[in-house]
């Protein structure tokens, strides 16, 4: 499709040192990536304070804005949305999404895969299998992204998760050591690229060892050059070696590298370390500038200019897109930013899009033909399921479910297996989320207020990942003490942890071996079914390990 690639950036902009104001504006605009809801209509936006209206999107795309990051909606709707956005633009767009755990993580109906850390854990037992599954993970994500109209997946996460208290990376990481993360992110990247979709190694130079959420504040990491070279950088080097199209910056302070500026805005980090030392010549994109770690300290325009000055090519989600455009134009006029530098960034963007279009099949995206890879999800879930103790007794009891949020959480659907399968065995559900009436008593050694909860043995199901914005609340909840309290009373029917292996490990230290218990890294309905079937709930799965009809109801 030569007419498409030709149109990416007008030749005059890339090659000429001087150009008209309209051309300069378009050049600058092409370096912005703005945020849109994955829904077609303004009224469907979940976060209207961040997600631009259709009028504003159309207007910015007509100015030449070069990329859109999408979030929310179904797979089918996403395909319509991508077509709509591309129709508003005057050249091919970078269309990206944070689909780190399969396209179905963000766009309902596509494959929703267990978090990467599940393969990191498998790697210790069976490295070849883990690498093969990571490659398939990348192919699945790339195939579906492309089928729906996305051409850029904002993954893999290259951060080495060596701090279990990390509130923002956690199960999103591919492992806990540089070697494992390197092997798996490389395999993921090649899988993605084999489908003709761009990837993005993040968050440079490594966000794994923080205990502060950079969505809310600026973490400080006191790592030396040597420590970075030993631990944080190898996965980025592996992905660069594998041909990753882009690297995303981290909102982190690294005083050993730059005492003044966070990595996202630091020339030492982006130009000296990433471009120079690691030899990366692909696209450098900032993490979202709207995040408070940046927006609390820098204005929308100044943050964008500083990022480009530091060596970024693309500015993601500036707090105010028009302010960013104006500030960049002013910086070019004052000589603070060179026109040539921006032209080189635009050229990098063009090269990335050319990679996409070289492999683009001529058929239009058709969401009807999407076939989610439930076998891949099932394989990873089965390999990463952990079990101990016997089978759950079917006696009437209480099914205490702890969710990180009950409001439109994709794992919390009205007929979620975590509710339905225990209900079939006479367990009455109690749903707990951060805004529920308090279930706690005043006694630290018996923290659960059992008088209010009612009679019966308790099946405890804890959905805890350590997500951004919500990571810390579960840590403050005394689940180990609850396990001990219920065991003392002979009232712990069973335990399932969905998500954090660290919570599971900490509870195992107090759990009596006879108690039926399971851990799954996934939280999706498919993971719930598998974990509960392993405890003996549902139609006989625990006997043979083969009959997963109930599961199929939710995933086929």
476 sits near a second copy (criterion: CB under 8 A): no
CB 373 within 8 A of CB 379: no
DSSP string, 324-386: HHHHHHHHHHTTSS-HHHHHHHHHHHHHHHHHHHHH--SSPP-GGG----HHHHHHHHHHH-E
Query: Binding segment for a second copy among 142-150, 266-274, 408-416, 512-520 (CB under 8 A)?
Result: 408-416
* One of 134, 233, 290, 416 touching a second copy (CB under 8 A): 416
Could you tell me the smallest distance in angstroms from the CB atom of residue 408 to a second copy?
Answer: 6
Query: Binding segment for a second copy among 23-31, 328-336, 452-460, 505-513 (CB under 8 A)?
Result: 452-460
Strand intervals (E) in 188-255? 200-204, 246-249
* One of 361, 435, 476, 544 touching a second copy (CB under 8 A): 435
Which residues 332-391 are close enough to bind a second copy by CB under 8 A?
A: 367-368, 370, 372, 374
Cα(125)–Cα(121) distance, integer angstroms: 8
Task: Tell me, yes or no, if 287 is annotated catalytic.
Answer: yes
Nearer to a second copy, 112 or 502 (CB): 112
Owner of token pair 């029917």: 493
Could you tell me the smallest distance in angstroms from the CB atom of residue 248 to a second copy?
Answer: 25
Rg (CA), the chain: 24
- Compute the half-sphere exposure of residue 221: CA atoms within 13 Å on the CB side of its CA: 27
Cα(237)–Cα(341) distance, integer angstroms: 24
DSSP string, 267-311: HIIIIIIIIIIS---SEEEPSPTTSHHHHTTS-HHHHHHHHHHHT
Task: Tell me, yes or no, if 215 is annotated catalytic.
Answer: yes
Q: CA 173, 176, 182: angle at the middle one, nearest 5?
A: 70
Which residues 25-84 are close enough to bind a second copy by CB under 8 A?
A: 39-44, 46-49, 53, 73-77, 80-81, 84
Could you tell me the smallest distance in angstroms from the CB atom of residue 552 to a second copy?
Answer: 9
Which residues 97-116 are close enough to bind a second copy by CB under 8 A?
A: 104, 108-109
Owner of token pair 């190898």: 234
* One of 335, 437, 490, 513 touching a second copy (CB under 8 A): 437
Could you tell me the smallest distance in angstroms from the CB atom of residue 418 to a second copy?
Answer: 11
Cα(495)–Cα(458) distance, integer angstroms: 9
Cα(472)–Cα(480) distance, integer angstroms: 16
Nearer to a second copy, 224 or 472 (CB): 472
**Exactly one of 287, 313, 339, 373 is catalytic; which is it?**
287
Could you tell me the smallest distance in angstroms from the CB atom of residue 433 to a second copy?
Answer: 7
Question: How many chain residues touch a second copy (CB under 8 A)?
Answer: 54
* One of 4, 229, 344, 413 touching a second copy (CB under 8 A): 413
Residues that bind a second copy (CB under 8 A): 39-44, 46-49, 53, 73-77, 80-81, 84, 104, 108-109, 367-368, 370, 372, 374, 405-408, 412-416, 429-433, 435-439, 449, 452-454, 553-556
What amino acid positions are annotated as catalytic residues?
215, 287
């Amino acid at each position: 499709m030569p007419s498409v690639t030709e149109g990416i950036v007008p030749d005059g902009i890339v090659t000429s040192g001087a150009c008209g104001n309209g051309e300069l504006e378009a050049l600058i605009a092409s370096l912005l990536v703005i945020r849109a809801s994955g829904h077609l209509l303004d009224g469907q936006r979940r976060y209207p304070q961040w997600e631009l209206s259709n009028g504003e999107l159309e207007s910015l795309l007509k100015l030449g804005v070069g990329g859109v990051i999408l979030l929310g909606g179904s797979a089918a709707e996403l395909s319509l949305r991508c077509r709509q956005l591309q129709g508003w633009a005057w050249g091919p767009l970078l269309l990206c999404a944070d689909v780190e755990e399969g396209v179905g993580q963000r766009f309902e109906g596509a494959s929703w895969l267990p978090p990467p850390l599940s393969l990191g854990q498998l790697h210790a037992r069976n490295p070849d299998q883990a690498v093969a599954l990571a490659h398939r993970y990348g192919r699945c994500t790339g195939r579906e992204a492309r089928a729906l109209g996305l051409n850029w997946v904002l993954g893999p996460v290259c951060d080495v998760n060596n701090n279990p208290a990390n509130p923002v990376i956690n199960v999103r990481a591919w492992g806990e050591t540089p070697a494992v993360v390197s092997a798996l992110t490389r395999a993921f990247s090649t899988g993605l690229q084999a489908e003709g979709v761009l990837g993005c190694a993040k968050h440079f130079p490594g966000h794994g060892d923080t205990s502060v959420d950079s969505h809310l504040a600026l973490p400080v990491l006191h790592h030396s050059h040597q420590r970075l070279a030993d631990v944080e950088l190898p996965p980025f080097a592996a992905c660069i070696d594998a041909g990753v199209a882009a690297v995303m910056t981290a909102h982190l302070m690294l005083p050993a590298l730059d005492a003044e500026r966070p990595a996202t805005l630091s020339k030492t980090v982006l130009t000296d370390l990433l471009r120079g030392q690691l030899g990366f010549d692909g696209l450098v994109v900032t993490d979202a500038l709207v995040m408070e770690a940046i927006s609390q300290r820098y204005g929308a325009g100044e943050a964008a200019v500083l990022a480009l000055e530091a060596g970024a090519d693309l500015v993601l989600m500036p707090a105010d897109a028009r302010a960013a455009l104006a500030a960049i134009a002013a910086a070019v006029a004052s000589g603070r930013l060179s026109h040539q530098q921006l032209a080189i960034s635009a050229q990098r963007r063009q090269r990335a899009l050319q990679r996409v279009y070289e492999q683009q099949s001529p058929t239009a995206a058709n969401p009807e033909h999407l076939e989610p890879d439930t076998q891949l999800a099932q394989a990873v879930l089965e390999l990463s399921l952990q079990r101990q103790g016997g089978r759950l007794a079917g006696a009437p009891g209480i099914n205490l479910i702890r969710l990180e949020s009950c409001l439109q959480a994709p794992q919390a659907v009205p007929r979620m297996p975590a509710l339905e399968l225990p209900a079939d065995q006479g367990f009455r559900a109690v749903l707990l989320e951060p805004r529920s009436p308090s279930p706690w008593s005043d006694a630290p050694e018996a923290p659960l207020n059992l008088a209010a909860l009612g009679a019966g043995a308790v099946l405890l199901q804890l959905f805890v990942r350590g997500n951004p914005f919500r990571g810390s609340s579960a840590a403050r909840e005394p689940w180990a003490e609850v396990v001990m309290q219920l065991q003392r009373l002979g009232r712990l029917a069973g335990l399932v942890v969905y998500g954090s292996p660290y919570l599971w490990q900490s509870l195992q230290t107090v759990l009596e071996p006879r108690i039926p218990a399971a851990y799954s890294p996934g939280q999706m309905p498919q993971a719930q079914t598998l974990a509960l079937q392993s405890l003996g709930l549902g139609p006989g799965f625990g006997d043979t390990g083969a009959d997963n009809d109930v599961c199929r109801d939710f995933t086929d």
